[in-house]
Amino acid sequence: MKDTIQKIIQTAIPKECVFDAHSIINFLIKYHPDIYLSSYKQNWTTAYYHSEISKLIATYETDLLKRIGESWSQHINGEFSKNKCWIKL
């Protein structure tokens, strides 16, 4: 999962673009569904799993990303919520 997230950040997101965790999660589901599904643990809720993905994205804050606060966007269940937001360096 971590390598796939890094690849998404490096190759799919344009430089200086702002994105949020929901963007990465939706990209994973659409283009890397096997990795998205295989990384899920049986006892996790969707919200917890997505928070873990957000934490993985945050590990790139020192070299690929800069955290710029939070956004409010739609998640996979169609509801809106706050989540971490970054800009690609």
Q: 3-state SS string over the chain?
A: CHHHHHHHHHHCCCCCCEEEHHHHHHHHHHHCHHHHHHCCCCCCCHHHHHHHHHHHHHCCCCCCEEEEEEEEEECCCCCEEEEEEEEEC
| pLDDT exceeds 90 at position 71 | yes
Q: How many domains does the chain have?
A: 1
Mean pLDDT, range 12-18, rounded to an integer? 97
- At 37-64, the pLDDT tens digits run 999 998 999 999 999 999 999 999 999 9
| pLDDT at position 45 | 93
Whole domain around residue 81: which residue ranges? Answer: 2-88
Name the average pLDDT for the chain. 95
User: If pLDDT is split at 50, 70 and 90, which confidence band does 76 have?
Assistant: confident
